Chain A
Amino acid sequence: LSRDAGFDWAGIEESPEFRELTGRRRRFVMRASIFFLTFFLTYLLLTAFAQDFMGTEIAGMPLAFLLAIAQVLMTWGVTWAYLRTCDRELEPLEERAASVATRRFVRHPETTTGSPR
């Protein structure tokens, strides 16, 4: 496979289509990271420093258990949100950035545009 040859990587990197893709992904990843870190570290700090509070019972279940279940639901929720963002938003941008790259930023067309394998 021609894995290095052919592309003008810097050119693709600066193309507006690629910039939009990375910008959108970065925005999601940053927001999701701040959210999950805050959510989890709050739980972790409560387990370490608010132990009486974590023993509070709600409907017969200690808060320590309910907040642990909340971590599971949060993990599933963030994962689902990322996959949905990829399907709806990022994949079309990936397609577009890749097709622009293959049309405009191939440096050595003679070595890379062979007949389809």
Chain B
Amino acid sequence: MRTVFAAELQVLPLTVFAVVLAVTLGVTYWASKRTSTATEFWAAGRGVTGLQNGFAIAGDYMSASSFLGFAGLIFLFGVDGFVGLMAALVAFLPVLLFMAERMRNAGKYTIADVLAFRLRQRPARVAAAFGTLAVVFVYLIAQMVGGGVLIQALTGIAFTPAVIGVGAFMLIYVIFGGMLATTWVQIIKAGLLMTCGVVITLLVLNEVGFSPSELFSRAAAEHPEGDAYLSHGLQFDSSVGLVSFGVAFLFGTAGLPHILMRFFTVPDAKAARGSVAWAVVLIGSFYVMVMIIGLGARALLGAGGEEAAGTAGNLAVPNLALELGGGEGSAGGEIFLAIVAAVALATILAVVAGLVISASGAMAHDLWSNVVRKGRESEGEEVVVAKIAAACIGILAIGAAVVGGAGFNVSALVGLAFVIAASANFPAILLALWWRRFNTAGAVTGIAFGLISSLFFIVMSPPVWPGPDSETGSPLGAWGLDNPAIYCIPLGFLGCWLGTVLSSEKPRERTFDELNVRGETGLGAEAGSDGAAVPAGEERRPVGATST
């Protein structure tokens, strides 16, 4: 079997990818004609439907790491790879039950809007913007480095030009097409990814005669550990470590700025919860397919495929596609590999575009407009600043990815992003939306506790300090965890509570009553593209009535 690691430029994958890029550029051109105001730039004019937003959330959320990464982990370690996928799916229940609708009704463009709703504007916004930027920046670097390595392996483009290329397209989508272009890039990507997943899954199942037990027995027979491949414990050597890893995904999703921001693009709360429903249908079915694909890679490629799959197993799926299409050298195999490679690249682009637009909201809307300019800016200025901010963040991330190079520990970075999201952003947003007594000091302390503890425990974690190959190990000894969410999330909540009870802050002008009424009924919420939200005094339209 050929090792899928292209030493020279691969024409076929590049051609397929050029087609995908041409379509996304067309979409960006179309979107640029419809993007001039701030609401259009960050929230696509709040005219995205529930179904469209469900696809876009799926496209925003499922990174190359959930497609190639998790399938690769299942290929290498068996059922341990299921845990991250399931945690990442169940994570949408807290989003649905606690976040989606209230965020839609209380916010405008960013998660800081939700915190600043009834807290003191400047400290709340600065804290929330830091939480957002920390998550986005770390996650962005992880995606760019992971993407660069993948593109190099699949197409033969060297790492540095690959990262710069990804960054350039990401910036084109965001700067010219805003949220509308980003949304459609994510929708197209979700469609491509689902189609690709269905085809590979059906081919794998066909190989084993559509018998799950055949799939499992062949996969176990091909693994050196035999039946241990079908039970837990191959990937994680610490049970507490596995629990902490699962908890990070479970609560991290509800603190990811680029996912939460998607709820501002729909016209009302009903569309917000509908979009979560579509997203869990898509993501759930895709994750089941990823499990089957990962097992199929083991059953069909066997132990001999391990070298070709790379150390993290990221190339197991491309190798599987080559095999399913007819093997190396066959036209079917090469074409199938090219399609999978192009889908993987589209996946990276859709995720990084979503990340950059959420960071531009934190920089331009939160820090510039509301903190530096204190709301005196014009809307035109806000959009210009947003584009400059997007360019700065993009260039910084490209620079960091190029300088750090392929040596960055991508899974440690992704872990860090989820831990910060779960321990800094999630507690503060949850309590701002639901806890009457919560105040500014609580939000600032909570975000600070979450951020600082995440950074501390990640730096002290075994893979980072004092280096993965060190003899001495982490200074925390047995307490050091690869993913420290189990320490950091309680610390984030503790910070929120301590700050709240220790400060003697006066109630703000806008009260929890207003947030509560607005969150539950949509009265006074930001209007949708068709003016669907209800301004004070106007009779609420019955459900289903057409709006004019």
Binding site for B on A (CB under 8 A): 1-7, 9-10, 12-13, 18, 21-22, 25, 29, 32-33, 36, 40, 43-45, 47-49, 51-52, 54-55, 57, 59-62, 64-65, 68-69, 71-72, 74-76, 78-80, 82-83, 86, 91, 94-95, 97-99, 101-102, 106, 109, 112-114, 116-117
Contacts and interface: CB of A to CB of B under 8 A. Distances in A.
A44 B521 CA distance: 36
B79 to A, nearest CB: 4
Nearest to A97: B521
Contact of B534 (A22, A72, A98, A113): A98
B281 interface: yes
Given A7-B517, A21-B520, A40-B90, A117 B531 contact: yes
22 contacts: A3-B525, A5-B536, A7-B524, A12-B517, A48-B236, A48-B239, A48-B240, A51-B232, A54-B231, A60-B213, A61-B212, A68-B291, A75-B90, A79-B276, A94-B521, A95-B540, A95-B543, A99-B540, A102-B539, A112-B535, A112-B536, A117-B531
Contact of A32 (B93, B232, B243, B539): B93
A43 B86 contact: yes
B462 interface: no
A10 B524 CA distance: 14
A29 to B, nearest CB: 5
Contacts of A61: 212-213, 216
Given A18-B517, A86-B273, A7 B291 contact: no
A3 B288 CA distance: 44
A100 B323 CA distance: 65
A69 B89 CA distance: 11
B86, B211, B247: most-surrounded residue (chain A CB, <10 A): B86
> Chain A interface secondary structure, helix, strand, loop or mixed?
helix
B513 A6 contact: no
Contacts of A101: 517, 521, 523
B536 A2 contact: yes
Contact of B536 (A33, A62, A64, A106): A106
Nearest to A15: B517
Contact of A62 (B230, B277, B525): B230
B511 interface: yes
A54 B227 CA distance: 12
A76 B96 CA distance: 11
A59, A75, A80: most-surrounded residue (chain B CB, <10 A): A75
Contacts of B310: none
B503 interface: no
Contacts of B134: none
Q: Which 4 pairs across A and B sit closest by C-beta, in order of nearness?
A: A60-B213, A55-B231, A6-B536, A112-B537
A112 B242 CA distance: 55
Nearest to A72: B284
A36 B90 CA distance: 8
A85 to B, nearest CB: 10
Given A6-B536, A47-B83, A60-B214, 12 more contacts: A9-B511, A9-B513, A10-B513, A40-B86, A44-B247, A48-B242, A54-B232, A59-B212, A62-B231, A99-B540, A101-B523, A102-B538
A19 B478 CA distance: 49
Contact of A10 (B90, B273, B511): B511
A9, A18, A57: most-surrounded residue (chain B CB, <10 A): A9
Contacts of B277: 79-80, 83
A4, A40, A48, A113: most-surrounded residue (chain B CB, <10 A): A48
A86 B90 CA distance: 20
A68 B540 contact: no
Interface in B483-533: 510-511, 513-514, 516-517, 520-527, 531, 533
Contact of B520 (A76, A97, A114): A97
Interface in B218-260: 227-228, 230-233, 236, 239-240, 242-243, 246-247, 250
A48 B232 contact: yes
Nearest to B238: A48
A74, A80, A86, A94: most-surrounded residue (chain B CB, <10 A): A94
A32 B90 CA distance: 12
B282 to A, nearest CB: 11
Contacts of B510: 4
A97 B301 CA distance: 60
B527 A1 contact: yes
Contacts of B109: none
Contacts of A79: 92-93, 96, 276-277, 280
Nearest to B90: A40
A72 B87 CA distance: 10
A18 B212 contact: no
Nearest to B533: A1
Contacts of B94: 33
B242 A47 contact: yes
A6 B288 contact: no
A6 B537 CA distance: 7
A37 B247 CA distance: 11
A76 B284 contact: yes
A5 B538 CA distance: 12
A109 B527 CA distance: 20
A71 B82 CA distance: 11
B250 to A, nearest CB: 7
Contacts of B159: none
A39 B284 CA distance: 16
A5 B536 CA distance: 7
B274 A40 contact: no
